[in-house]
């Protein structure tokens, strides 16, 4: 089975559009996402453009701010405070990575947690750990939605997450555990033999390391569910995932393509989080 995130995101956007239209009609204002792009990283520009297009498609207001690569941390902080104080803005997304002179951490910490639709603020992550009401980071939330909507039950399964980044691997492991899987995290300090043995035992494998073809098809257990979060551009221009797709697809029972797997689900969940932020704002 191909886990078609593009098709699922399209299906989900039908109900999202209806819910957004109902919200807008009831409250006389549409949910608004502020996107902030600092500098001229071409990949970041592509991602932000896709997020703004999703806003337009789904009836959201998109407020976009572009700043030069020379922007200081204080200037960006002032903008974040301004957006925090703007009642018409429900969600704030500052595209990462930021230029070297700006600390991601300082900027994320300055954001109003009630507008943190990325789910990156320490309060959001803390609430996720404790299973409280929170914004769940969009990529791992999209991964779980793709698994659930494909009829795959995580309960009692051995789930392995490759990568422990705070925005993807770590929250993905938490969500899989909360869905009653037995979870193991493989990371850069996991010895080679342990890595292969753990990956080889996975019923559900989520890979988020950002290295092309890092996981070989031969390592994967027959019948495993393989979720590839990676999007890597090769020198020849091709986009490939973190998993060696062709060989993995021969062994997996279900696998995400790259592109068209997890990527569209991330944007779909960003929209869902922004609608949630708008709802919380009118009825906290």
Catalytic residues: 51, 95, 118
**Total Cβ atoms within 10 A of residue 189:** 7
Q: Which of 96, 106, 177, 240 binds ligand GUN (CB under 6 A)?
A: 96
Which residue is listed with tokens 């990949």? 43
Using an 8 Å Cβ cutoff, are 185 and 194 in contact? Answer: no
Nearest residue to the partner ligand GUN, using Cβ: 96
Q: Which of 71, 95, 268, 276 binds ligand GUN (CB under 6 A)?
A: 95
- As a 3-state breakdown, the chain gives helix, strand, coil percent values, each rounded to 5, of 45, 15, 35
Q: Could you tell me which of 232, 249, 176 has the C-alpha nearest to residue 3? A: 249
Stretch that binds ligand GUN, among 87-95, 188-196, 210-218, 236-244 (CB under 6 A): 87-95
By CB under 6 A, tell whether 265 contacts ligand GUN: no
Among 3, 12, 38, 94, binds ligand GUN (CB under 6 A): 94
Q: Which of 138, 179, 186, 207 binds ligand GUN (CB under 6 A)?
A: 138
**Alpha carbon separation from 220 to 128, 188, 206, 215, 254 (Å, rounded):** 29, 18, 11, 8, 12
Alpha helices (H) along 28-184: 42-58, 73-85, 104-110, 122-129, 138-149, 169-178
Cis check for the bond before 259: say yes or no (omega within 30 of 0): yes
Complex with ligand GUN: residue 58 or 95, whichever CB lies closer: 95
Site map (CB under 6 A) of ligand GUN, residues 147-186, x = contact:
----------------------------------------
* One character per residue 10-29, x = contact with ligand GUN (rule: CB under 6 A): --------------------
| Chain residues that interact with ligand GUN, rule: CB under 6 A | 93-96, 118, 138-139
């Amino acid at each position: 089975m191909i886990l078609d995130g593009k098709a699922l995101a399209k299906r989900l956007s039908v109900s999202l559009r209806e819910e957004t239209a109902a919200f807008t009609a009831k409250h006389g204002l549409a949910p608004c996402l502020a996107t902030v792009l600092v500098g001229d990283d071409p990949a970041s520009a592509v991602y932000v453009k896709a997020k703004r297009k999703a806003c337009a498609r789904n009836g959201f207001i998109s407020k976009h701010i572009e700043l030069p690569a020379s922007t200081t941390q204080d200037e960006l902080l002032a903008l974040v405070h301004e957006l925090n104080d703007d009642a018409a803005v429900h969600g704030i997304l500052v595209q990462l990575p930021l230029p070297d002179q700006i600390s991601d951490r300082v900027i994320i910490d300055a954001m109003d947690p009630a507008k943190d639709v990325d789910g990156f603020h320490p309060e959001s992550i803390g609430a996720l750990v404790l299973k409280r009401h929170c914004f769940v980071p969009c990529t791992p939330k999209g991964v779980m939605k793709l698994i659930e909507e494909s009829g795959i039950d995580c309960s009692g399964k051995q789930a392995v997450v490759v990568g422990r980044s705070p925005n993807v691997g770590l929250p993905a492991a938490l969500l899989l555990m909360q869905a009653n899987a037995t979870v193991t995290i493989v990371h850069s300090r996991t010895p080679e033999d342990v890595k292969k043995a753990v990956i080889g035992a996975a019923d559900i494998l989520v890979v988020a390391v950002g290295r092309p073809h890092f996981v070989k098809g031969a390592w994967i257990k027959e019948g495993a569910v393989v979720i590839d979060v990676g999007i890597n551009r090769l020198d020849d221009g091709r986009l490939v995932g973190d998993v060696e797709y062709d060989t993995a697809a021969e062994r997996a029972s279900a696998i995400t393509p790259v592109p068209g797997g997890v990527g569209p689900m991330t944007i779909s969940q960003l929209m869902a989080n922004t609608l949630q932020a708008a709802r919380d704002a009118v009825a906290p």
